[in-house]
Chains A and B, each alone.
Chain A
Amino acid sequence: MSYLKPSFRHPELPVNDLGYTKKNYEGAISTLCAGCGHDSISGAIVQAIFELSIAPHNVAKMSGIGCSSKTPTYFLGNSHGFNSVHGRMPSVATGANMANRDMIYVGVSGDGDTASIGMGQFTHAVRRNLNMMYIVENNGCYGLTKGQDSATSDIGSKSKKGEPNPFEPIDLASMALQLGATFVARSFSGDKEQLVPLIKAAISHQGFAFIDVVSPCVTFNNNPGSTKGYEHVRDHLAATGTVDFVPMKEEITTSYHPGTSQEVTLHDGSVVHLHKADDKLDIHSRRSALGLIKDYKANDQILTGLLYMDPDSRELHETIETSNKALRSLGEADLCPGNNVLKNINESLR
């Protein structure tokens, strides 16, 4: 963290298809602790949206309460953001999405926000297949209140006070898979190479795209004994493969080479290239993903990468058959039936 962000940018900074530089995608200075994994995720979001050439103002940033939920302030300064109430971001995002289906919805939440008070809303956003990217910045602890265990904290993981957590953790990726999420991924905040393409794929996915990002808390959960500290996570990562993302307007390849790599066609036509280190994972099988997550966990490893996606995903607007136009753009002429219709209604009530 630094208090001053240099205003100077190299005049020949690369620009994207909109003519924007990365600077157009930055936000306010972060007030999180120096070295916080969440800031890396913000950086990855900036890079992904920049590379996708999405105009920042077409993105709505949604969050709840907590360290993670503060982060939308720190990226996409030209976007509207909404820091709602604890755990209830999914409902606000649902309403916002219903009002205008043309925008891109980026939801940022934390393990406290999602796996405790927000569990209900999270599950129902998944169930409805709301068209949004939902990132959990998962550090297994409550940073804002100085390090209590969260519901994703591993059993036996030691908090800063040195107390081992006595309870089983909630595995959000497994839960999302079981609930029917149409896109599930897991990554590590420090692994931009993997995270950026995952974010790009998640944004392009038509439906609920969930990314659980292990994001160590440098201040309250980075101690020896913590299973969400930097050292532990680095030592226990297992990737499903290297992920690359090809936007729709470039080359589209649909061939699939079992064993070595896998190409995943996203709903909007864009493609994720998954180079599998572990050819046991079938990206279109929930059962495969759930089994592998469990297997790696049994070996004390965290499986990362794109775990599952449904190529036939139907997002909420399609399911409930709302207008192709943004509902908020409709005016009196579209919405108000007028007095003559009302006269007929009156007549039917006599």
Chain B
Amino acid sequence: MSKVDNITSVNDLVIKFANVNGTGSASANNMFAKAIFRMGLSVSPKNIFPSNIQGLPTWYEVRVSDKGYLGRRGGIDIMVCVNPQSMAKDIQEVSPGGYFIYDNTKPLDLRLLRNDITFIGLPLTKICLDEYKDARQRQLFKNVIYVGALAALINIEFDVLTGLIADQFKGKEKLIAPNIHAMELGFQYAQENIQCPLGVTLERRDNLGEKILIDGNTACGLGAVYGGATMAGWYPITPSTSVVEGFEKYCKRLRIDPGTGKKNYAIVQAEDELAAIGMVIGANWNGARAFTATSGPGISLMSEFLGLAYFAEIPTVLIDVQRSGPSTGMPTRTQQSDVMACAYASHGDTKHVLVFPSTPKECFDMTAEAFDLADHLQTPIIMLTDLDLGMNDNMSDPLEWDDKREYNRGKVFNAEQLEEMSEKFGRYLDVDGDGIPYRTYPGTHPTKGSFFTRGTSRDEYAVYTEDGSEYVKNMERLLHKWETAKGLVPKPEIINCEGGSSVGILHFGTSADATREASDYLAESGITVDTCRIRAFPFNQEIEDFVANHETVFVVEQNRDAQMRSLLVNDCDIDPKHLIPVLNYDGMPITARYIQEKVESHISGAKVTPLRSKTNKK
């Protein structure tokens, strides 16, 4: 249809599917991504879905990268449009030289044509009408047919697809043959009617090693199982819901008492977020490991209780899967905009330990570790992930567990220790000089070790007091505990380029992949950068040193107000001029191209020194 120079590439593409929400496209799209993964290629799929039940446009974007880049790249090489509703916009999104694959059962509106991209028609509706009588089948198989066609168009191994169908319908064997047949219909149509393959193709590789494909929320749920959580109080909210669902799925499989058939866990779906965090606090207070998962609006509701847990020193694990705020914001779009709300949740002088995972493996590890950290520090630990990491399948190193590992339950006096004590037990005494007091579980000893937990001020023996000096002593001890926490929280990941650079990039969470890729691009254009991935608040000394050791420091984050930057300025007393914000907050994951552009434009505009010769690049 068009005379253009088509994009050509091997194992390097971005393909986007434009579907109608609720039509069953998700499983076909997942199958597409997983087939690429099983061909040994780095794949990064992202759901871009509306906040409604069905009918509205929904997209699924898959990136394949031979270099192993997993962040969003930007630009669309192939658009597969199954939704007429969004067609005009979808056509505009395709990069020049790209391909637009559409259902040509109905002719295309000629006004939408572009002469710099290639239009490829697949009569999806017609094939389905000819082949199937049942309306639901016509809808469902349409998705499988375009996956089959793509197999021919970009060289996906057909055996891999049939293997995936067999896996997907294990236990429902009757569905295997019809699905394979639908896939063949698409494959054959493409082979017979379109010049296959396109300029953009895939080739099997073997560079994934032991990698797995898992969403961050499921990894968090599994981390809670391994971390010894026995109680989850929760209230469903996008995009965190699948954290507790994942926990429940694995608990049902792995946590049933073989003797009695009863559950070694309790999950209570609360009436709201206030109750969810209350339950978690109550369970932790009583010696169990408990957690909840929520998103921004839930954090707002939980803030009062978080203040109580901080002040009364009750271990609490909270997983915040961030979405776009403020208020209801964009419930199904990603952001990193709860940083400040979580760091200082609740009134008064309050601050909370935050951890920031970047991969599913870190979701697993950090969730399990959060229980140790919470027990050790006797304070809330808030994990900040986001929709992008939480709800999308992400490639990850395999999950591992050291069987010799023992849970760190922190400073808890048992009955024997209490019995031997001649001195009076003081719940808030700083016995070891690290700001962390000893606690006892309710019911431990008949006469020793009981105390009253309250949100009001008290002395070291947990007795209510409004004595100013006692209050100050307590608040100072909490600060001292904060200092102790700096040495216990996950350390940053620092990558120094060869010889080091005077330009640094600070980033965290899901900006990691895009930042890594951007730093490669920057190096190619002569700007070498060192990167520091922040993994926790309070900030470790290494982060402060990183800032001090670089002339120019960019802070990459996915929110409008540069919240991490504010936290750095506030907590480390850094001159704000020293930290240059790189902010993306349109609800989509940040791209490498965006970071590259922002850094380049700042450096060229400011004539900062670190432009190095290309021969000196990494």
Chain A residues near B (Cβ < 8 Å): 28, 55-58, 60, 62, 72-73, 77-85, 88, 90-100, 102-103, 120-121, 123-124, 128, 316-317, 320-324, 327-328, 330-332, 334-339, 341-343, 345-346, 349-350
Name B219's closest neighbour in chain A (CB-CB). A349
CB of A79 to closest CB in B, whole Å: 6
Let me know if B134 is at the binding interface, CB within 8 A. Answer: no
Name B307's closest neighbour in chain A (CB-CB). A85
Chain B residues near A (Cβ < 8 Å): 37-38, 210-214, 222, 225-226, 228, 230-231, 233, 250, 254-255, 257, 260, 262-268, 270-272, 274-288, 290, 304-305, 308, 398-403, 406-407, 440-447, 450-456, 463-464
B401–A83 contact, CB under 8 A?
Answer: no
Top 7 closest pairs, chain A to chain B, by CB: A95-B282, A91-B278, A99-B288, A80-B442, A95-B279, A95-B283, A92-B282
A350–B212 contact, CB under 8 A?
Answer: yes
Bound together, the chains give a CA A123 to CA B271 distance in angstroms of 10
Bound together, the chains give a CA A84 to CA B312 distance in angstroms of 10
Q: A328-B287, A345-B222, A350-B38 are in contact. Are A100 and B268 (CB under 8 A)?
A: no
Bound together, the chains give a CA A322 to CA B277 distance in angstroms of 20
A92–B285 contact, CB under 8 A?
Answer: yes
Q: A95-B231, A96-B285, A339-B401 are in contact. Are A350 and B213 (CB under 8 A)?
A: yes
Name B456's closest neighbour in chain A (CB-CB). A83
CB of B236 to closest CB in A, whole Å: 15
Bound together, the chains give a CA A331 to CA B264 distance in angstroms of 10
Q: A81-B453, A84-B455 are in contact. Are A98 and B231 (CB under 8 A)?
A: yes
A120: chain B residues at CB < 8 Å are 271-272, 275
Selected from A102, A103, A342, the residue in CB contact (under 8 A) with B400 is A342
Bound together, the chains give a CA A100 to CA B221 distance in angstroms of 22
CB of A1 to closest CB in B, whole Å: 15
B304: chain A residues at CB < 8 Å are 85
Bound together, the chains give a CA A99 to CA B228 distance in angstroms of 12
B38–A338 contact, CB under 8 A?
Answer: no
Q: A88-B274, A324-B262, A338-B403 are in contact. Are A83 and B279 (CB under 8 A)?
A: no
Most-contacted residue by chain B among A62, A79, A95, A323 (CB, 10 A): A95
B443–A60 contact, CB under 8 A?
Answer: yes
A95–B443 contact, CB under 8 A?
Answer: no
CB of A32 to closest CB in B, whole Å: 13
A85–B455 contact, CB under 8 A?
Answer: yes
Interface of A is mostly: helix
A93: chain B residues at CB < 8 Å are 282
B231–A327 contact, CB under 8 A?
Answer: yes
Bound together, the chains give a CA A82 to CA B287 distance in angstroms of 14
CB of A127 to closest CB in B, whole Å: 9
B264–A335 contact, CB under 8 A?
Answer: yes
A121: chain B residues at CB < 8 Å are 271, 274-275, 278
Bound together, the chains give a CA A85 to CA B304 distance in angstroms of 8
Q: Name 14 A/B residue pairs within 8 A (Cβ), A-sorted.
A: A57-B442, A57-B446, A78-B450, A81-B450, A83-B452, A95-B281, A95-B282, A98-B279, A99-B288, A100-B286, A322-B265, A328-B230, A328-B288, A336-B228
Selected from A83, A95, A322, A346, the residue in CB contact (under 8 A) with B290 is A95
B279–A92 contact, CB under 8 A?
Answer: yes
Name A86's closest neighbour in chain B (CB-CB). B304
B278–A322 contact, CB under 8 A?
Answer: no
A99–B443 contact, CB under 8 A?
Answer: no
A55: chain B residues at CB < 8 Å are 446
Bound together, the chains give a CA A60 to CA B282 distance in angstroms of 11
Name A89's closest neighbour in chain B (CB-CB). B278
Name B439's closest neighbour in chain A (CB-CB). A80
Selected from B257, B283, B455, the residue in CB contact (under 8 A) with A83 is B455
A82: chain B residues at CB < 8 Å are 282, 285, 452-454
A94–B279 contact, CB under 8 A?
Answer: yes
Most-contacted residue by chain A among B278, B407, B441, B451 (CB, 10 A): B278
A103: chain B residues at CB < 8 Å are 286, 442-443
B305: chain A residues at CB < 8 Å are 85, 88
Bound together, the chains give a CA A3 to CA B309 distance in angstroms of 31
A334: chain B residues at CB < 8 Å are 257, 264
CB of A216 to closest CB in B, whole Å: 25
B226: chain A residues at CB < 8 Å are 336-337, 342
Name A28's closest neighbour in chain B (CB-CB). B463
A321–B279 contact, CB under 8 A?
Answer: no
CB of B608 to closest CB in A, whole Å: 44
A99–B230 contact, CB under 8 A?
Answer: yes
Most-contacted residue by chain A among B230, B233, B250, B284 (CB, 10 A): B230
Bound together, the chains give a CA A349 to CA B211 distance in angstroms of 9
Q: A77-B450, A337-B225 are in contact. Are A322 and B455 (CB under 8 A)?
A: no
Name A56's closest neighbour in chain B (CB-CB). B446
B442–A100 contact, CB under 8 A?
Answer: yes
Q: A78-B446, A88-B274, A335-B255 are in contact. List 15 more A-B contacts (CB 8 A).
A: A57-B445, A73-B452, A81-B451, A85-B308, A91-B275, A91-B279, A94-B275, A94-B279, A98-B230, A317-B266, A324-B262, A328-B441, A336-B226, A342-B401, A345-B222
A330–B230 contact, CB under 8 A?
Answer: yes
CB of A62 to closest CB in B, whole Å: 8
B283: chain A residues at CB < 8 Å are 95-96, 98-99, 327-328
Bound together, the chains give a CA A12 to CA B337 distance in angstroms of 66
Most-contacted residue by chain B among A28, A97, A102 (CB, 10 A): A97
A349: chain B residues at CB < 8 Å are 212-214
A339–B222 contact, CB under 8 A?
Answer: no
B443–A124 contact, CB under 8 A?
Answer: no
Selected from A72, A85, A95, the residue in CB contact (under 8 A) with B233 is A95
B401–A84 contact, CB under 8 A?
Answer: no
B286–A57 contact, CB under 8 A?
Answer: no
A331: chain B residues at CB < 8 Å are 228, 407
Name B445's closest neighbour in chain A (CB-CB). A57
CB of B525 to closest CB in A, whole Å: 37
Most-contacted residue by chain A among B263, B406, B445 (CB, 10 A): B263
Name B290's closest neighbour in chain A (CB-CB). A95
Bound together, the chains give a CA A252 to CA B468 distance in angstroms of 56
B441: chain A residues at CB < 8 Å are 100, 328
Most-contacted residue by chain B among A94, A98, A330 (CB, 10 A): A98
Bound together, the chains give a CA A303 to CA B450 distance in angstroms of 38
Bound together, the chains give a CA A124 to CA B230 distance in angstroms of 21
Most-contacted residue by chain A among B267, B270, B275, B443 (CB, 10 A): B443
Name A82's closest neighbour in chain B (CB-CB). B453
Name B360's closest neighbour in chain A (CB-CB). A349
CB of B285 to closest CB in A, whole Å: 6
Q: A58-B443, A82-B453, A335-B228 are in contact. Are A346 and B398 (CB under 8 A)?
A: yes
A339–B402 contact, CB under 8 A?
Answer: yes
Q: A88-B275, A337-B254 are in contact. Are A323 and B399 (CB under 8 A)?
A: no
Most-contacted residue by chain B among A72, A80, A120, A350 (CB, 10 A): A80
B406: chain A residues at CB < 8 Å are 332
A100–B287 contact, CB under 8 A?
Answer: yes
B403: chain A residues at CB < 8 Å are 338-339
CB of A52 to closest CB in B, whole Å: 16
CB of B220 to closest CB in A, whole Å: 14
Name A101's closest neighbour in chain B (CB-CB). B266
Bound together, the chains give a CA A88 to CA B278 distance in angstroms of 7
Name B267's closest neighbour in chain A (CB-CB). A320
A341–B254 contact, CB under 8 A?
Answer: yes
B286–A99 contact, CB under 8 A?
Answer: yes
Q: A79-B442, A95-B278 are in contact. Are A321 and B263 (CB under 8 A)?
A: yes
Bound together, the chains give a CA A72 to CA B442 distance in angstroms of 14
B446: chain A residues at CB < 8 Å are 55-57, 78
CB of B503 to closest CB in A, whole Å: 37
Q: A88-B305, A321-B262, A327-B288 are in contact. Are A83 and B454 (CB under 8 A)?
A: yes
Bound together, the chains give a CA A323 to CA B286 distance in angstroms of 16
Bound together, the chains give a CA A103 to CA B262 distance in angstroms of 19
CB of A117 to closest CB in B, whole Å: 10
Bound together, the chains give a CA A350 to CA B396 distance in angstroms of 10
Q: A98-B268, A336-B228, A342-B401 are in contact. Are A92 and B263 (CB under 8 A)?
A: no
